[in-house]
Amino acid sequence: MKIRDKLKEDLHLPGFVSDILFVVVVIGIISAVSQLALGLWTPMVAVESGSMVPNMNIGDIVVVQGASRTEVIPWDAAVTKGYTAFNNPGDVILYMPYGKERLGLIDQAMAIFGVPYPPDKATPIIHRAMSYVNQSQPMWDGGPKAPFSGYITKGDHNDRIDQMAGAILGMANASYIKEHTDQIVEVSPGSIYRDKKTGLILYEVGNKTYVGEGISYLTPVKKEWVIGVARVRIPIVGYVRLIPNIIGDEIHKLLGGS
């Protein structure tokens, strides 16, 4: 007997209720299997930008193995091992920029009506791990020292690493961080902070505080920010996931949004 029919008979539920319950049960089973096999409840993500072209394209679905179930092999280490992933040396990782929270369904639904994403949340970045640097090592040849240990990352289609892709927008008052402790998240003790209300990054250098932006500007990617390692690419299918975003953009334009 089918599970759906069993639910109807044993629980005496209306048809539409048992159908909904059936879907919930199936999703729960799939999620549980994913957690056991890959270490993630939701192991699939849709590629939303062209930063990994041609090895990953907009609309692809990528299956990710949880960081707790594997090790990350950066480009420089992969070259010596002869290891490649998605046509190049090194693993492609999924990470949260600056340790921000992941966007929820409500956030994405509100965006359809032109509501901006919360500045303290972000979509995960899927880029290649190029190297791993320890604290105080240069993040690139001739570059600044790493404020903490982590991965140097880059999109295959981009011309520079993420740690160079950004900008310093200006300076904040020296007292800004102390006066806004309720909205400041410490990224690196005593040197780098994240402003929850603006999403901007604050860099303390000596007695000056600089304000910057970028996906990982001047900061490596901490191991704890890594969600997992990309393992399989499924072309085109991800457009189903991106359709709400596309519709939302068009609705926003019709409503007069920029």
- pTM here is 0.78
Count other Cβ atoms within 10 Å, centred on residue 110: 15
Residue 240's pLDDT is what?
53
Instruction: List CB contacts of 35: < 8 A, sequence separation 6 or more.
Output: 41
Residue 212's pLDDT is what?
96
- The answer to whether 208 touches 120, Cβ cutoff 8 Å, is no
**Does the bond joining 54 to the residue before it have cis omega, within 30 degrees of 0?**
yes
pLDDT beneath 50, residues of the chain: 1, 7, 13, 18, 21-41, 238, 244-253, 258
Residue 206's pLDDT is what?
85
Query: Which amino acid does the sequence have at 139?
Result: M
